[in-house]
A = this chain, B = another copy of it.
Amino acid sequence: MAVIDELVEASRQHRLNFTGGQLPMPPRRRVAIVTCMDARILPSRILELDIGDAHVIRNAGGRAADAVRSLVISQELLGTREVAVIHHTDCGMLTFTNESLRAKVKSDLGVEGSSIDFLPFTNVEQSVRDDVGLLRASRLIPIDIPIRGFVYDVHSGALTEVV
């Protein structure tokens, strides 16, 4: 059985117990979270987010460069007023370089991946500082939106503010 079939089956149970169907589109708590796709990160559990509370933007590394389009929509159209960038320890982005992944893509898939910046990093606190800096400097993010950066420790469950 494909894993996705198991997820579809799980969603049937979810539907039976579903509440929250009348919630509006804008996030109730007016906050956007930018974090990694990592399987050990469950934002709703870590931050006690309920249905309808917050926008959650996730990609490999929780990189801000991939999140600007979404943040403009979140702020301009749906009223969010704070941003938290959360990277984490033991992140996959610490395990490769653009050169090594491009070589692997070429070897495995026969594709020259040299046009893609996979946005790896070598230090998770520095990547948080870089990404918060990118957003604070962006003219597409209003100057009065607080942007704060954190590291989540996947081994201890602790969230630590970096910037």
Which residues of A does B touch, CB under 8 Å? 2-4, 6-8, 10-11, 13-15, 18, 20-23, 25-32, 37-40, 42, 44-49, 51-60, 66-70, 72-74, 76-78, 82, 84, 90, 92-93, 95-96, 101, 104-105, 108-111, 113, 116-119, 139-140, 142, 146, 148, 150, 154-159, 161
A57 to B53, CA, bound (A): 18
Q: Offer 14 A-B interface pairs, CB within 8 angstroms, sorted by A.
A: A4-B148, A14-B47, A14-B157, A15-B159, A39-B52, A40-B51, A44-B44, A59-B69, A60-B74, A72-B101, A73-B101, A77-B92, A77-B95, A105-B140
Q: Is the CB of A101 within 8 A of B77?
A: yes
- State the oligomeric state as a number of copies: 2
Q: How close is A144's CB to chain B, nearest CB, in angstroms? A: 11
Chain B residues with Cβ below 8 Å from A6 are 29
Residues of B within 8 A of A49 (CB): 7, 42
Q: How far is the CA of A45 from the CA of B116 in the complex (A)?
A: 33
Contact of A15 among B14, B150, B158 (CB under 8 A): B158
